[in-house]
Structure 1
C-alpha cells in the first residue's frame, strides 16, 4: 500500500471519529464478549453438558420378544435391565461435575478474550500515541529542512548542514508514515476482535493507577486456569465414585408366560441379579480412576504454583516499570521538552550548527520514545496480572 493511500485512509478514519463517544477498554471487552465466536462456542459447550445431565439415567431399551416356551402357542414377553441405583446417582454427579468443568472452561475462554482485547487496546493506544509523536516531530523537521534550504541559498550554512537537515526530515517522514500505518493496522485488528466498526476514539495513553495490595496467593486462587484444573480434579473424583459403583450388582425384571395358557399372572414374572464376580477388573478400574484423580489434583496444584510464580515475576516487573515511569514523567519528559525548546532557540540564534542541533533533537525525542516503552511495559505487566488473576 502506497504511503499516500495509507495517510488518506488514516485521516478519513480519524475524521469520522470526531464527535463520537470514546471506546473504553470495558466497552471493547463487553463488545468482544458479545460477538466473539470462542465465547459463543464455550456457551454452547456448557449447554451441551447441561443436556448431558439428563442422560445420566441411561436405561437400556426394554427387550420385547415373542417365543413359544411350550411349543403350543406364542407368548409375548418383555425384559428390562438396569444398574444398581447408586450407579445412576453417581453418573448424575459426574455429569454435573462435567457441566461445572465446562462452565470453568467458559470462564477461561472469556478471560483469554479479555486479555487479548486489553492487549490489542493497549497496542492501539501506543501505536496512535507514537504516530502522533512522529507527526509532531515531522512537522518540526519539515520546518527545519525548509529553513536550512533558505539559509543555504543565502550562504549562511554549508552544503553538508543543508543535506543533513533534509536527510533527517526525510527519515522522520518515513517513520511517521510507518507509525501511521501501524496505528491503522492496530485499530483494524482491534475492530476485528470487538466487532466495533464505528472507529470511536480510544482513551489517551496514560499510566493507570498502580495498586499492588493483594497478595499473590489470593490472586492465584482466583485464576480461571487454576479453577479449571480444580474442577477437572473434581470430575476425576466423581469418576472414582462411579468406578467403585461398577462393582455393585445389576438387575433385570421381565414378564413371560413360560407355562400353559392358564398359568397365573404371579408366575409369569422373572427377575435376575448380575453378580460382580470379576473383582480384578473392577479393582483395576477403580485404581485407574484414583490415579487419575491424584494426577488431576497435582496438576491443579502445579498450575496454582505456576500462576503464583508468574504473578511474583510480574509484580516485580510492574513495580520496577512504575518507578521508572514516575522518573520519566517527573524528570525525563520535562527535560526532553526543555532540550527541544533550547535547541530550537539556540539554532534560531545561530549559536549551534545543524549537526549539533539535530543530534540534540534526536536525543530529546529518544527520551520521549523511552517513556512510551516504559509506559507500555508497565501497562503490559498489569494486563498480564489481570489475566492470571481472572480480572
Structure 2
C-alpha cells in the first residue's frame, strides 16, 4: 500500500470484498475517514472547476467585449492543462484534490500571458504595419520578456512546494507540479499558437481580393483605379457599410486623440482629493524658554485641509467635465459615421450611374457603326452619319466622367476610413438608405449641452463652497536637555474668509455662466427640432418624387426604349425621333438616380441629425 494514492487502494479493497465476501441482506459496507473526505472534495471539485472556467471566460469577454478575442485567449487553458498532466505523469504523482486546485490556479495564471499578448497586438494595429505577419513579429518580440517574467515568477514561487519533503508535502507537491508544468507548456505554446490564432481571426476582408502591393513607383491614382475596377466587376461582394463604419472609427487619428482626451479627463476626476504639502519643521527660538531658562527645540508637523465639501464639489466638477468630454467624443464618432455613410451611398449611386452610361455608350457605339455602314451603302445621308458619331462621342465623354466620379467618391470614402490599402466595396442591390428611429433627446449633441449645464452648476457650487473655512492641524513636540520629559502640544485652526468680495464676484459670474449654459442648451434643442421638422417635410417631398419614378417612371422608360428600338428597325420613326426617344428614356433613369441621391443624403442627415 506504500506510495499509492487513496482512491486506488480503496478500489482494490472494494474489489476484494465484492469478490470474496457476501453480506447478508440488510448489511452494507461504507468507507469513511479520509476516503469519505476525498469523495466529498471530489464532488465539490466537479462543481468548482466548471464554475471557474465559466467565470474566466465571462471576465475575458467583459475585458475585451469580443467573444472572438476571449476564445483566442481561452485557448491558453487547454495548452496549460497539457503541461500540468504531463509533469504529473513524469513525476509519477496521482491526480488528487490538491492537483485539481492547482489546475484552477493554473487556468487563472495561464490566461494572463494571453491577455498581455493580445492587448499589445490590438495596440499595434493602429501603428500602420504593412502586414499581419510584421505586426505579430513585433508584438511577440515586445512582449516576450513580459510573458516569460509572468510565467517564471509564478513557477519559481511554486518550486519550493514542488520539491518539498516535509510534513504535508504529499498535498503541496501535486498542486505545485501542476502549476509549474502547465506554465511551461502554456508559455511556450502561447508564443506560437496565440499569434497564429490571432492572425487567422483577424484577416482583412479584402485579403482574398487584393493580393500584394503595387510598386511604389506607380501613382496612387493608378492603384485606386485598378482596385476600383476590380471591385466594380464583383456584384454584392466586399465590405459593407456595417464593416466600414467600425473601421473608420478605429483608424481615424482625430478620434484617437478624442479617446485619449476622454481617458485624461477620467484620470483627472481623482485629482479633486489632492491635499497641500505636509509641513514638517524644526524650531529653535530663544524667546521660548523652559523653566530652566533653556530654549526649547521644537519638532512639529502641520497639515492644511480644505473643508470636506470643497473636495466633493471639485470632484463633481471633474465628473461633469468628463461627461462633457465624453459627449464631445461621441459627437466626433457620430460625425465619422455620418461621413462614411454619406460617401458609401454616394458611391452606390455613382456606380449605378456609371452602369447606365456604360449601357448608353455601348448602344450609341453600335448605332454609330450602323449609321456609318448605312452611309457607305447609300441608305442614309451624311448628316445622319455625323450626328450619330457626335452623339456617340458625347455619351462616351459622359461615360468617362461617370467613371472618374466613381473613382473620386471611392477615394473620398477611403480618405475617411484612413486605410493604406484599397478596399473592395460591396455593390448593394437596394440603393435606398433606411430611415432610423430618431430620439432627439438622446442625441450626442443634446447630451453634450446637458453635460455643459451640469458642469456650470457644479462650478457654481464649487465656487460657493470655497467660502467655507479651511482647516489647519498642527502637532509639535519640544525637547530640552535640562528637562527629563518632552513637551508636546497640538493646534487646530480655521482659516475664515473675511474678505470675500473677490470670491463673491466669482460666484456671481458662475451663476451667469450657468444661466447662459441653460439658455444655450434650450436654443440648441429648439433649432435641432426645427431642422428635424424641416428635413422630414423635405423627405416627404422627395419620397413623392421617388414614388413616381419607382411606380411609373422606370416602367415608362423601359417602354419608351422598347418601342423606339422596334419602331426604328421597322422604319416607323426616323433617326432623330429615335435619338430623342433614347434621350428621354435615359433621362428618366438618370433623374431618378439624382433624386435618389438627394433622398439618401436627406435620410443620412436625419439619422445623424446635428446643426
What is the TM-score normalised by the length of structure 2? 0.58
| Cα distance per residue 1:349-387 (max 9 Å; x no partner) | 233232222222112211111101111121111111110
Shift of 1:272: 2.7
CA distance in 2, matches of 1:329, 1:132: 18
| Cα distance per residue 1:58-115 (max 9 Å; x no partner) | 2121233344222757644433222111100111111111111122112111111111
Which of 187, 194, 197 is 2:422 aligned to?
Answer: 197
Q: Is the 8 A contact 1:66 1:77 kept in 2?
A: yes
Taking structure 1 as reference, are residues 186 and 209 closer, same or farther at Cα in structure 2, changes over 3 Å only?
Answer: closer
Q: Is the 8 A contact 1:77 1:254 kept in 2?
A: yes
Aligned length: 380
What is the TM-score normalised by the length of structure 1? 0.89
CA distance in 1, matches of 2:257, 2:508: 34
2:609 counterpart SS class: helix
2:439 counterpart SS class: helix
User: Partner of 1:95 in structure 2?
Assistant: 318
1:44 counterpart SS class: helix
Alignment of 1:1-391 (within 5 A): 10=225, 13-15=228-230, 18=234, 21-70=237-286, 72=295, 75-194=298-417, 195=419, 197-208=422-433, 219-256=439-476, 260=480, 262=483, 264-267=486-489, 269-388=490-609
Taking structure 1 as reference, are residues 74 and 93 closer, same or farther at Cα in structure 2, changes over 3 Å only?
Answer: same
| Cα distance per residue 1:329-357 (max 9 Å; x no partner) | 11111111211222222222233232222
CA distance in 1, matches of 2:395, 2:222: 15
Query: 5+ residue gaps in structure 2?
Result: 1-219, 288-294
Taking structure 1 as reference, are residues 7 and 270 closer, same or farther at Cα in structure 2, changes over 3 Å only?
Answer: closer
Shift of 1:20: 7.8
| Cα distance per residue 1:266-288 (max 9 Å; x no partner) | 32x33332111123222211111
Q: Is the 8 A contact 2:478 2:486 kept in 1?
A: no
Taking structure 1 as reference, are residues 105 and 40 closer, same or farther at Cα in structure 2, changes over 3 Å only?
Answer: same
Q: Is the 8 A contact 2:296 2:479 kept in 1?
A: no
**How large is the RMSD of aligned CA atoms in angstroms?**
2.6
Shift of 1:15: 2.8
Query: 5+ residue gaps in structure 1?
Result: none
Shift of 1:143: 0.8
User: Partner of 2:114 in structure 1?
Assistant: none
CA distance in 2, matches of 1:270, 1:210: 69
Shift of 1:256: 4.2
Shift of 1:6: 8.0
Q: Is the 8 A contact 1:125 1:204 kept in 2?
A: no
CA distance in 1, matches of 2:398, 2:226: 17
1:202 counterpart SS class: coil
Q: Is the 8 A contact 1:25 1:121 kept in 2?
A: yes
Structure with larger Rg: 2
CA distance in 2, matches of 1:163, 1:7: 34
RCO higher in structure (CA 8 A, sep ≥6): 1
Q: Is the 8 A contact 2:297 2:478 kept in 1?
A: no
CA distance in 2, matches of 1:184, 1:222: 37
Of residues 300-309 and 40-49 in structure 1, the stretch that sits farther from structure 2 once superposed is 40-49
Shift of 1:157: 1.8
CA distance in 2, matches of 1:19, 1:345: 31
Q: Is the 8 A contact 1:69 1:259 kept in 2?
A: no
1:78 counterpart SS class: strand
Taking structure 1 as reference, are residues 210 and 9 closer, same or farther at Cα in structure 2, changes over 3 Å only?
Answer: closer
Shift of 1:163: 1.0
Q: Is the 8 A contact 2:471 2:495 kept in 1?
A: yes
Taking structure 1 as reference, are residues 52 and 33 closer, same or farther at Cα in structure 2, changes over 3 Å only?
Answer: same
2:303 counterpart SS class: strand
CA distance in 2, matches of 1:342, 1:7: 42
